[in-house]
């Protein structure tokens, strides 16, 4: 069991590692991705982020990995509220730590959730997320 807390709260949630998640590779995922893809994966994510609507108050990131894309998203849309959904508990924790280290003033803007798109909470009809799905497969939807 792992304990996950969000940067803005001290409430711990016990979670189980899911088989098939990226927990096992989280410690070396970024260097491995750079070895396999070079800078292509990051360039693709940056290109997708460049096409976010000019006013994107709510952004959903699914499968953001260790948090690199989260920091890039906050650079492009510094006032956006972000729901960061990640299936790997270890990757999710790495993203939280990176956010607190690199952009502590924006930590309250990000809600971290363990799971996949199937675990998304129902959203009020008044909330519109500009969706940015990333990971191995990259897809951007408005």
Three-class SS string for 47-75?
HHHCCCCCCCCEEEEECCCCCHHHHHHHH
Q: Residue 141's pLDDT band (boundaries 50, 70, 90)?
A: very low
Give yes or no for residue 18 having a pLDDT over 60: no
State the pLDDT at residue 47: 85
The string of pLDDT tens digits covering residues 61-118 is: 888 888 989 999 999 889 989 989 888 899 899 999 999 999 999 999 999 999 887 8
Mean pLDDT of 2-20: 48
Q: Residue 3's pLDDT band (boundaries 50, 70, 90)?
A: very low
∠28-39-55 over CA atoms, to 5°? 105
The string of pLDDT tens digits covering residues 23-50 is: 877 777 777 777 887 888 788 888 888 8
Distances, alpha carbon 61 to alpha carbons 3, 7, 48, 139, in Å: 21, 17, 12, 11
pTM for this prediction: 0.69
State the pLDDT at residue 123: 60
For residue 72, give both structure tokens. 């890039």
């Amino acid at each position: 069991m792992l304990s996950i807390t969000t940067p803005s709260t001290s409430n711990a949630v016990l979670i189980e590692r899911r088989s098939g998640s990226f927990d096992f590779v989280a410690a070396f995922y970024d260097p491995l991705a750079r070895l396999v893809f070079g800078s292509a994966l990051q360039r693709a994510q940056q290109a997708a982020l460049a096409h976010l609507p000019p006013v994107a108050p709510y952004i959903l990131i699914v499968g953001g990995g260790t948090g690199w894309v989260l920091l890039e998203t906050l650079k492009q849309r510094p006032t956006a509220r972000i729901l960061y959904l990640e299936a790997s508990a270890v990757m999710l924790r790495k993203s939280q730590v990176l956010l607190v280290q690199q952009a502590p003033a924006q930590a309250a803007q990000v809600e971290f959730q363990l799971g996949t798109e199937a675990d998304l909470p129902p959203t009020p009809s008044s909330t519109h997320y500009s969706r940015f799905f990333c990971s191995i497969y990259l897809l951007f939807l408005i």
